[in-house]
């Protein structure tokens, strides 16, 4: 029996939307989402930038935090920063300001970020990552880097470890997603290379070994399944992570066509059950 707190990742409860969709605001009202996932058993929730801005407009962050707390949702995850190292990228810097504001006012546990894709020299990236972690520390949160198979400079566990250790940070590390681990150049054996404190959060989801759409990106957005419904050995993945001594949060970043068509209560229950079967 493990006591890791469980996060209802944004896409698992957002409704009929996917990452990269032109509308990333959840179909359901913030208060309703917090009530539903709290009753199901989750202790945390994830939010993307546009949904955060909508929440700010409709409730205000302070009131939203009270609503979340009242429903037992104390672990707040906000996302996602991309190109955050490029001070000349106005859009990326505005996203950073928006996400950091939400993180500070909602007392977020961590902020999810992406890595470079051949667009930032390694030494500069490490330097900027250290700065980002310091900024996060100043508002009481952490930085969770999500490596992905299609990111040239951050596509595996080993690349992430190189950055974290060179940066010398204590509040920065992995968002360790089973999808990206299985579908990329990492192996489950690489998990043993990680120190537990180098994992900020974990995401447990599933998929098919052979691409359904013919595109890794489209499968990532349309066929990222609840744990236990695909070809990944999710039990082995989470067993290896927990064997490190990891005691942090575990989310379920389900991004699948059939899942996003479900009503909120069914989607939340399905997502929660997908995690609890292994914990």
Q: What is the pLDDT of residues 242-260, one digit of tens each?
A: 999 999 999 999 999 999 9
Please state, for a pLDDT cut of 90, what percent of the chain lies above it: 96
Residue 18 resides in a domain: yes
Residue 19 has pLDDT above 80, yes or no: no
Query: Is the residue at 50 inside a domain?
Result: yes
Query: Which band of pLDDT confidence, cut at 50, 70 and 90, is reported for residue 140?
Result: very high
**What local confidence, expressed as pLDDT, does residue 1 receive?**
64
- Does residue 225 belong to any structural domain of this protein? yes
Considering the entire predicted model, what is its pTM? 0.97
Q: How many domains does the chain have?
A: 1
pLDDT at 51: 96
Tokens of 117: 């894709």
Residue 1 within a domain? no
Rounded-to-integer distance, Cα 157 and Cα 194, Å: 8
Give just the sign of the alpha carbon dihedral 179, 185, 189, 190: negative
Residue 44 belongs to a domain: yes
Provide, rounded to the nearest whole percent, the portion of the chain with pLDDT above 70.
99
**Model confidence band, residue 17 (pLDDT cutoffs 50, 70, 90):** confident
Between strands 172-177 and 142-146, the pairing is parallel
Phi, psi angles (nearest 5°) of residue 85: -80, -10
Tens digits of per-residue pLDDT, 198-237?
999 999 999 999 999 999 999 999 999 999 999 999 999 9
Q: Which residue(s) pair with 199 in the sheet?
A: 174
**Which residues constitute the domain of residue 98?**
6-276
Flag whether 245 is in a domain.
yes
Query: The CATH number of the domain where 157 resides is what?
Result: 3.20.20.150
Q: Does residue 67 register a pLDDT over 90? A: yes
Burial class for 210, CB neighbours closer than 10 Å (0-12, 13-18, 19+): exposed
Q: Is pLDDT at 24 greater than 90 in this prediction?
A: no
């Amino acid at each position: 029996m493990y006591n890791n707190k469980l996060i209802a990742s944004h896409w698992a409860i957002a409704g009929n939307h996917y990452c990269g969709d032109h509308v990333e605001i959840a179909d359901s009202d913030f208060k309703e989402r917090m009530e539903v996932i709290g009753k199901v058993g989750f202790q945390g929730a994830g939010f993307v930038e546009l949904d955060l801005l909508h929440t700010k407009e409709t409730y205000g962050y302070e009131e939203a935090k009270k609503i979340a707390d009242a429903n037992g949702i104390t672990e707040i995850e906000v996302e996602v920063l991309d190109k955050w190292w490029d001070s000349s990228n106005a859009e990326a810097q505005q996203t950073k300001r928006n996400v950091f504001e939400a993180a500070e006012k909602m007392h977020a546990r961590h902020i999810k970020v992406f890595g470079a894709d051949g667009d930032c020299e390694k030494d500069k990236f490490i330097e900027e990552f250290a700065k980002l972690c310091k900024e996060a520390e100043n508002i009481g949160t952490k930085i969770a880097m999500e490596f992905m198979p299609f990111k040239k400079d951050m596509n595996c566990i080993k690349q992430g470890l190189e950055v974290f250790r060179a940066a010398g940070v204590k509040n920065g590390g992995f968002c360790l997603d089973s999808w990206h681990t299985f579908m990329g150049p990492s192996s489950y054996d690489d998990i043993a290379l990680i120190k537990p404190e180098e994992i900020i959060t974990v995401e447990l989801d599933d998929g098919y070994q052979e691409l359904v759409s013919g595109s890794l990106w489209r499968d990532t957005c349309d066929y990222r399944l609840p744990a236990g419904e695909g070809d990944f050995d999710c039990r082995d993945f989470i067993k290896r992570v927990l064997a490190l001594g990891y005691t942090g949060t575990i989310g379920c970043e389900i991004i699948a066509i059939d899942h996003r068509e479900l009503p909120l209560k069914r989607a939340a229950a399905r997502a929660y059950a997908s995690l609890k079967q292994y914990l």
